[in-house]
Amino acid sequence: MAIKLKKNGEFTYASHTGLVSDLERKTADRIYEELQESIFSLEKSLLKRKLLTKSGRKIDALRIWFEFGRLLGQVADKYNIIGTQDEEFFWQSIYDHTSSIVQKGPMPKRSRNWKQNHFRLCFLMAKNRNWENVKSIGNWSIWREIFDNKKILEDERLFNWTVDKIAKLRKEGLGHKKIRPLLYEISKRFKRIDTNLLSEEELTIKLQNIKMRKYTESNDFWEKLN
């Protein structure tokens, strides 16, 4: 596997092995072209639907990033990129394709850590979720709040559990401000734990215990959670 991307203004084929075969080069070219075309079409469609203005103002940021996430997920799945050691190069390469109306300036500092890459986060948001599910969590700033917790992003199971929990609480009318303590509580609980070493069952028990602990403190907010 290799990914074609621009480095210091020149094209390069990035691979964790450092070696790129002809076949890998051809596949990388295909991925590059596909990304080029599909991102161009998406941007055009966003402009046409007035979700985005020519000056780069995002009328509905959540919808824009959801559509980016869904599109990139389709490409990534098609070429089996997710989970490979070259996944980071894929997310890095997206910045070669987005126009300045979507992404002003160079890749932001935060995206340099590929797990925090903005487009990877969009992909995680849209993965296995339809627009209604995504919308039910709240606007882009709530999603941003979730993404700001590195710990939650380290384990997809933890991420999905958190998002599902927030969706449930939102249905019960929980406001934006009250989501922050929940995120904080989860991050704090697993601060020193690598949840990837836990089985599904072990993780579930630990997550349930967070609720129990808080519930006994008769906190209104956590009562709702239960």
Partner 1 sequence: MAQFTQPQNQERDLQAIMEGYEGKIGHKYWLSEAFQKDAIQNSWDARIDNKRGKNWSFKLFYFSNSQVYPSILGFVDSGTYGLTGIIPRNEKEAVIALKRKEKEKERLAYFLSSNWSNKPKSAIGSRGRGKMTFIGASKHKAIYFDSMRSDDKQYVFGRIFLDKDKAIKVEIDSGEIANKKRERIFKNVIPPFLNSGTRVLLFDPRKEIIEAITNGEIEQLIQHTWWEILHKYQAKIEIEIDGKNRLISPPPFLPIEKLGINEIYNSGPIELEENSKLRIKNISLCYLGDKDIPEHYKGLAIQVHGMVVERLKIENLISEPIGNKIYGAVTFDKLLEEKMADCEGPEHCDILWTRSPANRTRNKLKYIIRKFAEKYKLIEEQSTYVSKKQRAVEIVTQNDLNKLAKTLSLIGTTSSRRTRTGKERSAIEKLRLSIADFRTPYENGRADRSQSVEGTYVIPINEYSTSLIVLVKAYIFLQKNGKVIKYVEKELRIPEEQIKVGWPEIKIDKSFERGGYTFRAEMRSLEEKKISKEIFYEKGELIYHPVSRTFYVEEDPPEKGFFKIESRATKDKRKFIWIEEGDKEYVLCYNRLHPTIDSILKVKEWEKLLRDLLFKEGSYFAYGIRLAEDKTLIEEGEEPLIFTKEEMESDDFQTLLKHVAFRRSSYLWDFR
Q: Does position 113 bind partner 1 by CB under 8 A?
A: yes
Report, in Å, the least distance between residue 198 CB and partner 1: 5
The residue (of 114 and 221) whose beta carbon lies closer to partner 1 is 114
Contacts of 14 (CB under 8 A, 6+ apart): 2, 3, 4, 5, 7, 86, 89, 92, 93
Report, in Å, the least distance between residue 197 CB and partner 1: 4
Beta-carbon count within 10 A of 183 CB: 19
Q: Which helix (H) or strand (E) holds 32?
A: helix 22-48
Restricting to residues 183-212, name those near partner 1 by CB under 8 A. Answer: 192-198, 202, 206
* Binding-site string for partner 1 from residue 137 to residue 176, where x marks contact by CB under 8 A and - marks none: ----------------------------------------
The residue (of 37 and 202) whose beta carbon lies closer to partner 1 is 202
Cβ burial of 52 (10 Å; 0-12, 13-18, 19+) is buried
Report, in Å, the least distance between residue 201 CB and partner 1: 11
Report, in Å, the least distance between residue 202 CB and partner 1: 6
d(CA 11, CA 71): 23
Report, in Å, the least distance between residue 25 CB and partner 1: 21
Q: CA geometry: angle at 66 spanning 225 and 134, to 5°?
A: 20
State the residues that interact with partner 1 by CB under 8 A.
Answer: 112-113, 192-198, 202, 206
